[in-house]
Structure 1
Amino acid sequence: MKTKIIILIGLFFISVSSYSQTACKAYYPFEEGVTFEITNYNKKGKKEGVVNYEVTNIIGNTATIKTIIYDAKGKEVTTTSYDIMCDGNTVSIDFKSMINPDMLKQYKDMEMEVTGTNIELPNDLQVGQSLKDANMNMAINMGGINMNIGVNIVNRKVGQKESITTPAGTFNCFALSYDNEIKMAMKMTFKIKEWIAEGVGVVKSESYNKNGKLMGYSELTSFKK
C-alpha cells in the first residue's frame, strides 16, 4: 500500500517556541504522550468502532499522531500515523483525514494515491465565521482496475457556543457545520455538525442525510494527558 489513511475526528496543533505555543494552543492539546479515544455509533446508538489517538512526536512545527482503528468487536483494523502542521494562527489537518474508516478497512490492502487540500482551522474562531473548503481525491488500483473517490468539505461555518457532555466529561464548545460531498459512481452529500472544545479538540460529531435525518455520530470517550 502506498499510503495508509484514516478518519481524523480528534484534531491537534503544533508549537515549539513561546510565540507558536500561544498562537497554536487555542483549541487542541499538543504535547507528547497525550492520548484520547473517539467511539463511533450508528443512528440508534449502537457502537460501530473505536479510534485511539496518541501524540508520539513533535519536531519543529509538525506533530506526528499515531492512530489505531478498532471495529465494534474490538478487533484492530489498522494502525497508521500522520502529521499535523501549524502556521501562525492556523492548524493544517492532513486531507487524508477525510477518509471514512469503513472505506479504509475495505481498501486497506490495495495500492492508493491520495491528493488534496488540507483542512485549515484558525485558533481565533468567531460565531458566524466562514472557513476554507478542503478536498481529497483517492485513486485506488484494484488489480488493474482503477477507481477514483473524491471528498469535498464545503460550506464550513462556525456556529454558537454550546455545552456538550460525553463519557469523557462536559466541555464548552464551538458548534461547527459543513457539507461532506462524496463522489464515487454517484455524488452523495451529507450534513455534518461537530463540536470542538478549547484544549481538547473534537468532542462530538453528527452526520445527517440530505433529508436531515441522523445517520450516525461520534463521541470523545476518553482523554488523558
Structure 2
Amino acid sequence: MTVSLSKLLDPLHDRVLDGLEFARIAFRLFDEVYELPDDGKTLRERKGDVKPLLEEVLPIARFALAHYGQGQYLTVRWVRGSQPFDAKLVSHGGRVDHGMWPAQSTLEVTTAQHPNEYLMRERLNSEGGAFGLEGLTRIKGPAGAKSVASVPTVHSSLETINAMATLILGSIQAKAATNYPQDTTLIVNVELNGLYLDEEWRQLVHIVRERCPSHGFNAVFLCAGPGIYSTSL
C-alpha cells in the first residue's frame, strides 16, 4: 500500500462537505497512514499532508462530531495552506433558526504541545522508546552524527497537569493576540504530555477554565488524544 503524502488531503481541500462526511473522510485518511507497514514512522515524521491531517483536520472533525445533531446540521469547508482561517462552517436547523447556534462561523486551530514533542517523535523512530518528554536532549556523537538522548525524570501528577495547562493557556493567549473575525471559534489540539486518566483530564480542564485569558473568540474547544478527550471551555 502506498500513500501520496503531498496529495493525501485532496479529498477535503476547499470542498463543502456535510460535517459527518468530513469526519468520515478525515478518519479514513488517518487510517490509510496508520495502516502503512512502518510501525507509525510516517505518522511521527509528519511530512507533507500528514502534519495538517493530525494538527488541523482531525481536530476539526472532532469539533464537527461534538456539535452536529438534531436542529444543528453543519457543513465544513477546510482549506489547505496559509490563510486567515482553517475552516468555514455553515449551519442550518431549528437551533440555528432560533438563534441558539450561528448560521456561519470560522474555525481556527492551534496546537498545544511540549517543546520536546518533536524530539520524542524522532527518538521513537530511531530507538523505539524514551523515558519521557522532560528528559530529552539532542546530542552529537564522536563522528558528528546527531541523536536524541533520553534520561528519566520524576514529576508528580499535579506537576504534569499544571505544565500541560500552562502550554494550553499559552496557545490560547497567543491566538487571542491576533485579530480574527468575530465569528471565530478556536480549537486547541492538545498533545498531552503523558498518559492521562479521566480524572486527570478533568483536573486539566478545570485549571484551564479557571486561568483562561480574556479573548474574543466565540468559544474555545479542546480536544486531545485519538478521540479520547474533548470539551468546550
**What interval of TM-score do these two structures reach, taking the shorter chain for normalisation?**
0.3 to 0.5
TM-score, normalised via structure 1 length: 0.35
TM-score, normalised via structure 2 length: 0.34
Q: Larger relative contact order (C-alpha < 8 A, sep ≥ 6)?
A: 1
More strand by share: 1
Between structure 1 and structure 2, the one with the greater Rg is 2
More helix by share: 2
